[in-house]
Amino acid sequence: MPTLTLASARSPFRDEFAEELAIRPLHSGDIHASFQFRTVWGVDLLQATDPRFLRYAILPREIVCTENLTPWKKLLPCGSKAGLAVLLKSEKLFHSSYFSQAVHIRPVCQGMHCTVPSWEMRQTLNVVFDLYTSGQGKREWSMFKIKIYVDVTDSPQGELFELSPPTPLLSQAVVLGDRRTYSVYDLTDPGTFGKVRSLNLLVRWKADNGDMLRPLLHGERYVAGFGLQTGEIHTLIYNNHPYRAFPVLLLETVPWYLRLYIHTLTVTSKNRENKPSYIHYQPSKDRLRPHLLEMLVQLPPNSVTEVTVQFERALLKWTEYPPDPNHGFYVGSSVLSALVPSLVAMDTNITQEHPLFSSFFLCKEESSYFMRVYTEPLLVNLPTPDFSMPYNVICLTCTVVAVGYGSFYNLLTRTFQVEEPSQSLAKRLANVIRRWRGVPQL
Amino acid sequence: MPNIIAVVCASYGLAQSVCDGEDLPARAERFFRSDHTNNWAVLVCTSRFWFNYRHVANTLSVYRSVKRLGIPDSHIVLMLADDMACNHRNPKPATVFSHKNMELNVYGDDVEVDYRGYEVTVENFLRVLTGRLPPSTPRSKRLLSDDHSNILIYLTGHGGNGFLKFQDSEEISNVELADAFEQMWQKRRYNELLFIIDTCQGASMYERFYSPNLMALASSQVGEDSLSHQPDLAIGVHLMDRYTFYLLEFLEDIHPASQANMNDLFKVCPKSQCVSTPGHRTDLFQRDPGSVLITDFFGSVRKVEITMETINLTVPGIPLERFGGEPHTETALAYVDQLPVAQIIHQKPKQKDWHPPDGFILGLWTLILLVFFRTYGIKHLKHIF
């Protein structure tokens, strides 16, 4: 029976749970809310894993609705009964511009010396509320034991928006390589909300303009071309860092029924060809496996890199079409993984108290952080047969059979007889008169 | 007769005072009461596309009633062929309404759908019923019933005389369904089964049943169409079918301790309200429908065992054990490089299959042709070209 042995004499690490809400008013008037729930277990659940056995993949399409949120909420210790999860009302969450939920499970360092790993499960939920559909930015909550952070970097003196009730607590954190300032509402401190046990956070917009900092790395993907025979997939990767270039690993998984012409694969940055440092391509096998294309591309600073590849659409067998084939077929998104250099120095000290959203991206070194970005999935139409063909076929074959058989039957059984045409009344009268005159008849 | 009753009392462990105080018919009645110990529900919506919103609303309203009356999500297999709640055409996302003017949201806040979208096929439905699923299927997608389970099966969609259409591309016939139920009976996968179907000509689907302990209800007879209820002008589609609408209204009045029986269920939606004639079939059912409670199928059984012993719940603290045995060494662990660029670029090239060098095959064929024409003469060349 294995016994517990600890590296040092300190008390055993207990399980803990923390939750947080970070609100960021965007320049467009929308509000981005990010919920983070973190559960840390004090035991080492599995042996350390070998990083060379990493697998990552994407699913082309999944409908996301309350039925996805329900099992996710059940992973929280109190479900949706207490804490921040009470705010997660599906009618508000899904009536939004953007919704994303995730579960991350990973081993983390525990303590300064990091001899004993502990396992952490993070559940994140990001929503962007479109203010025009969901009310003018008024929110009301009542809850306990959590912290709310509101991003006020863009409006330090209150030019862009005004926050009420005001709070003197300000904290700075580095998120995604950018130093942001946050107003903190600590709900464990009873001074925050006074006698009434509810916090009414009001964001009043003042100005309309302002420029937002663009993300350092983002991607786009679309299908070009026309018709149902060929097409071209374009993937655009943007590097908005002003002076640093960095490599990005691009993974594309394309289903077998879009037959890629890899000889037409081109990578261009700033109108010049950019040869990737590493390419791994595994061709597809019909009905067995998709195309797998993985490339390491160096992105020059402040540029757009375009990856294009042409493809041909295949014709599927009758039974392989889904019940709604005219909707189209989904192609999974591309995955861009990169170590993005940050504009400001980041803190790698893990023992310090950090807000959850900034410790989400664990950074090994101060100068860069790891990010994985997904592009949009594609929707392509394949040449689809007319599934009412049996009706058409029956009409056509019946017509052909009728015409063919009818002609053959006539040939075999029809006989022709000569018949004197009967004269009309006028002619008969004329003949009578002619006979009487003695002139030859008509 | 009194001897038999005495044996019954003893074998069921009833207290002596209860046995003596009650009269014989009530005691005999209790002996023949259903002895199911758990309840399951399989609720299937077979239609795709936005204009079949009402079929999803039908299924979700039965789901809601069944959950409200006590059957937990782990015992419900819900199959919805399309997503209406988060459909782009839904003006109120994450909602599915059953009454116009958006009175009742049957989608709710804690719905769990087990089979969604393309997974709702005839094959999957029959596999769920008969239990022949691949070993990798998760528990939420299985019907883990035993011989003491009462199962409620509800089907809705478009149907005809003898068939039900799945997702606009395939059908299940009444013969297949009857055979599936016979397989379930032979594998002892149910104690009693209630089958409700709300489609056009629904009564044709239960005509071919031949297994015991089956009761069936349908919304219309052969040759009749089941009609939809009211449209909602804001959403733009019909919200519910008539039979299920009145069934939902009937079930809203039922609570877990209700004593309403099946005869009341047969009276739901008469011809004046439904326009079609609902039908039912009870000849294969062993008990009298008047003695079958609604909650026998729609609710959940909770058997309570009363014990007089005390159980000690406090357990001394056990130190957490490590999986995997050996104690950790003092070496510090470190985070791995998340994008090892140097390693990626300098990978050893993978073993590829050997191919002959370029042009080799072409040269080989040229050589063969040359030798042929040299041996047999150039005159053969004109027969080739």
- Chain A positions in Cβ-Cβ contact with residue B319 (cut-off 8 Å): 3-4, 12
CB contact under 8 A, A95 and B93: yes
Q: pLDDT by residue (tens digit) across B296-330? A: 999 987 667 788 888 888 876 655 554 444 445 55
- Chain A positions in Cβ-Cβ contact with residue B323 (cut-off 8 Å): 2, 43-47
What are the backbone angles phi and psi of residue B10, rounded to the nearest 5°? -65, -45
Q: Residue B168's closest chain A neighbor by CA? A: A323
Q: Residue B79's closest chain A neighbor by CA? A: A67
- Chain A positions in Cβ-Cβ contact with residue B83 (cut-off 8 Å): 63, 65
Catalytic residue among B9, B45, B99, B200: B200
Would you write out chain A's pLDDT as a tens digit for each of its 442 residues?
333 333 333 344 567 888 888 888 777 777 888 888 988 887 766 666 677 788 888 888 888 999 999 999 999 988 888 878 888 888 888 888 899 999 998 888 777 777 777 888 999 999 988 766 544 444 333 223 345 666 655 555 555 555 656 666 666 665 655 666 666 666 666 555 555 555 566 666 655 555 666 788 999 999 999 999 999 999 999 999 889 999 999 999 999 999 999 999 999 999 999 999 999 999 999 999 999 999 999 999 999 999 999 999 999 998 899 998 989 999 999 999 998 887 776 666 655 666 676 666 666 666 788 888 999 999 999 999 888 777 778 999 999 999 999 999 999 999 999 988 888 899 999 999 999 998 888 8
Mean pLDDT for the stretch of residues B189-195: 95
- Chain B positions in Cβ-Cβ contact with residue A66 (cut-off 8 Å): 85-86, 94, 107-111
Of A65, A66, A278, the CB nearest to B344: A278
Domains defined for chain A, CATH in brackets:
4-205 (no CATH), 217-380 (2.60.40.740), 391-442 (no CATH)
Question: Do B96 and A65 form a contact (C-beta atoms < 8 A)?
Answer: no
A 113-132: CB under 8 A from B? 113-117
Q: Tokens at residue A67, please?
A: 């039925």
Q: Residue B336's closest chain A neighbor by CA? A: A51
**How far B165 CA lies from chain A's nearest CA (Å)?**
12
**Which residue, among B84, B89, B333, B347, would best test binding to A if mutated, counting the most A CBs under 10 Å from its CB?**
B333
Q: Tokens at residue A102, please?
A: 């995730």
What ipTM is given for this predicted complex? 0.77
Q: Tokens at residue B352, please?
A: 């590829």
- Chain A positions in Cβ-Cβ contact with residue B324 (cut-off 8 Å): 2, 44, 46-47
Q: Is the dihedral of CA A362, A364, A366, A369 positive or negative?
A: negative
**Which residue, among B107, B110, B123, B323, would best test binding to A if mutated, counting the most A CBs under 10 Å from its CB?**
B110
Q: Tokens at residue A161, please?
A: 């928006």
CB contact under 8 A, A324 and B168: yes
CB contact under 8 A, B335 and A109: yes
Question: Do B267 and B280 form a contact (C-beta atoms < 8 A)?
Answer: no
Q: Which residue has the tokens 């179907």?
A: B197
Q: Name which of A152-166, A388-402, B127-141, B367-381 the model is least confident about.
A: A152-166
CA distance B343 to B337: 10
Report residue B8's pLDDT band, with 50, 70 and 90 as the boundaries: very low
CA distance A85 to A104: 17
**Crossing angle of the two packed helices B24-31 and B2-11, in degrees rounded to 10:** 50
Catalytic residue among B19, B148, B158, B280: B158
CB contact under 8 A, A323 and B336: no
Of the candidates A18, A17, A24, the one whose C-alpha atom is nearest the C-alpha of residue A147 is A18
CB contact under 8 A, A114 and B85: no
Question: Do A284 and A259 form a contact (C-beta atoms < 8 A)?
Answer: yes
CB contact B51 to A (< 8 Å): no
What are the backbone angles phi and psi of residue B320, rounded to the nearest 5°? -65, 135
Question: Do B307 and B271 form a contact (C-beta atoms < 8 A)?
Answer: no
Give alpha helix (H) positions in chain B.
2-11, 16-21, 24-31, 53-68, 122-130, 174-186, 242-252, 262-266, 271-274, 295-298, 341-345, 360-376, 381-384
Q: Which residue has the tokens 């005839």?
A: B122
Strand partners, A1: none
Q: Tokens at residue B275, please?
A: 């326009």
* B19 is an active site residue: no
- Chain centroid, CA A109 distance in Å: 31
CB contact under 8 A, A323 and B118: yes
Of B48, B113, B167, the CB nearest to A67: B113
CB contact under 8 A, A247 and B341: yes
- Chain A positions in Cβ-Cβ contact with residue B109 (cut-off 8 Å): 66, 70, 80, 89-90
Question: Chain-wide mean pLDDT for chain B?
Answer: 85
Q: pLDDT by residue (tens digit) across B204-234? A: 999 999 999 999 999 999 998 999 998 888 8
Type of residue numbered A85: A
**How far B367 CA lies from chain A's nearest CA (Å)?**
31
Of B94, B108, B169, the CB nearest to A94: B94
A 159-218: CB under 8 A from B? none
CB contact under 8 A, B335 and A364: yes
Look at residue A145 in the predicted model and tell me its pLDDT.
Answer: 34
Q: Which residue has the tokens 């009392």?
A: B9
CA distance B101 to B231: 10
- Chain B positions in Cβ-Cβ contact with residue A1 (cut-off 8 Å): 321
Whether the bond between A325 and the residue before it is cis, its omega within 30 degrees of 0, is no
Look at residue B352 in the predicted model and tell me its pLDDT.
Answer: 72
Look at residue A105 in the predicted model and tell me its pLDDT.
Answer: 87
CB contact under 8 A, A4 and B319: yes
CB contact under 8 A, B328 and A5: yes
Of A45, A117, A296, the CB nearest to B341: A296
CB contact B107 to A (< 8 Å): yes
A97-110 as b/e, with b when 16 or more CB fall inside 10 Å?
eebebeeeeebbbb
Q: Residue A110's closest chain B neighbor by CA? A: B333
What are the backbone angles phi and psi of residue A285, rounded to the nearest 5°? -120, 130
CB contact B111 to A (< 8 Å): yes
Q: Tokens at residue B344, please?
A: 């990626």
Look at residue A179 in the predicted model and tell me its pLDDT.
Answer: 64
CB contact B183 to A (< 8 Å): no
Q: Tokens at residue A282, please?
A: 């595994």
Question: Do A182 and A149 form a contact (C-beta atoms < 8 A)?
Answer: yes
* B280 is an active site residue: no
